[in-house]
């Protein structure tokens, strides 16, 4: 899902999160791997570097194009495919590993997206997810933006629910085994609270969309500017570091 990704995330730690997910999934040479809502390949490219056969799927062509350029610079080949996380363009039981790094969480209909993760997994395949938690920094950021954002589509569920262990267990249900979940922290560095806010205004899809919606309301723009900078200020230490909480999930599809 392109709207939820950082096209220029290299400076802010997402590649590190992708590598964490690849390691947690024990991706290795010769495996067939799918990265769902892959964005520009923060997990897909590290997976391909192991020697696995990797498909990176996302709705946003501009993110896939950015990923192709990054992969080419890294000297690695993988298949970039446009696809909706709720209706993946792949056959049943196609992959040894199906993963998503803060990507599938932005699919509006969670049950549909989770069913697709399972459908394209082979029996015994690993399903791996890294998702921002509801009470972590990014979850709080969405709460701050909610009064200014467009109403969600009918039936949509909040993205940070993918960071709730119980919710993910319910989504995957009896279709998986060896379910493991762990909350972790991603250290992120910004020079100042306003640096965080302005970076996200330029690069992060949900923030861009929210500001676009209120562009003709200067008082609301100013209020959101203040709220986002305040959120970052409260979360930063004296050196400008923040710790963003995420949930790391791994499971195996039942045979």
Strand partners, 189: 241
Question: For the chain, how many structural domains are there in total?
Answer: 1
> Is residue 172 assigned to a domain?
yes
Pairing outcome for strands 79-82 and 53-58: parallel
The residues near 183 (Cβ < 8 Å, ≥ 6 apart) are: 133, 245, 246, 247, 248
**pLDDT, tens digit, 9 for 90 and up, residues 62-92:** 989 999 999 999 999 999 999 999 999 999 9
State the residue range of the domain holding 83. 2-134+153-189+243-253
**pLDDT, tens digit, 9 for 90 and up, residues 124-166:** 999 999 999 999 999 999 999 999 999 988 999 999 999 999 9
> Is residue 197 assigned to a domain?
no
Q: Residue 111: pLDDT band by 50, 70, 90 thresholds? A: very high
Q: What is the pLDDT of residue 6?
A: 37
Q: What is the pLDDT of residue 15?
A: 76
> Is residue 48 assigned to a domain?
yes
Q: What is the pLDDT of residue 205?
A: 84
DSSP string, 65-94: HHHHHHHHHHT---EEEE-BTTB-SS-TT-
Q: What is the pLDDT of residue 201?
A: 94
Distances (CA, A) of 94 to 13, 79, 90, 115: 30, 14, 7, 14
Whole-prediction pTM value? Answer: 0.91
Nearest Cα neighbor of 36 from 120, 111, 109 is 120
**pLDDT, tens digit, 9 for 90 and up, residues 160-195:** 999 999 999 999 989 999 999 999 999 999 999 999
> Is residue 49 assigned to a domain?
yes
Work out the number of other CB atoms within 10 angstroms of the CB of residue 153.
8
Q: Please, what is the average pLDDT of the chain? A: 93
The residues near 200 (Cβ < 8 Å, ≥ 6 apart) are: 141, 207, 228
Q: What is the CATH number of the domain that holds 87?
A: 3.40.50.150
Residue 40 near residue 7, CB atoms below 8 Å: yes
> Is residue 221 assigned to a domain?
no
> Is residue 223 assigned to a domain?
no
Residue range 42-53: mean pLDDT, rounded: 97
Q: Residue 1: pLDDT band by 50, 70, 90 thresholds? A: very low
> Is residue 139 assigned to a domain?
no
Answer yes or no: is pLDDT of 216 > 60: yes
> Is residue 203 assigned to a domain?
no
């Amino acid at each position: 899902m392109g709207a939820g990704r950082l096209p220029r995330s290299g400076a802010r730690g997402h590649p590190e999160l992708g590598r964490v997910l690849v390691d947690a999934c024990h991706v290795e040479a010769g495996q067939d791997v799918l990265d769902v809502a892959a964005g520009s390949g923060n997990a897909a490219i590290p997976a391909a570097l192991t020697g696995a056969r990797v498909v990176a799927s996302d709705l946003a062509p501009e993110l896939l194009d950015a990923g192709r350029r990054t992969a080419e610079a890294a000297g690695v080949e993988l298949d970039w495919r446009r696809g909706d996380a709720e209706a993946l363009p792949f056959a049943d039981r196609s992959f040894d590993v199906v993963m998503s790094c803060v990507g599938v969480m932005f699919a509006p209909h969670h049950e549909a997206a989770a069913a697709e993760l399972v459908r394209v997994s082979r029996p015994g395949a690993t399903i791996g997810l890294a998702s921002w938690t509801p009470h972590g920094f990014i979850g709080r950021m969405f709460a701050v933006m909610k009064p200014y954002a467009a109403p969600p589509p009918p039936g949509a569920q909040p993205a940070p629910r993918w960071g709730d262990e119980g919710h993910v267990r319910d989504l995957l249900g009896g279709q998986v085994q060896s379910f493991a979940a762990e909350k972790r922290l991603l250290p992120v560095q910004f020079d100042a609270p306003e640096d965080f806010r302005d970076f996200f205004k330029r690069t992060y899809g949900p923030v861009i969309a929210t500001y676009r919606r209120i562009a003709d309301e200067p008082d609301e723009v100013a209020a959101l500017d203040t709220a986002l900078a305040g959120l970052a200020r409260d979360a930063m230490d004296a050196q400008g570091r923040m710790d963003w909480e995420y949930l790391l999930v791994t499971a195996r599809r039942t045979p």
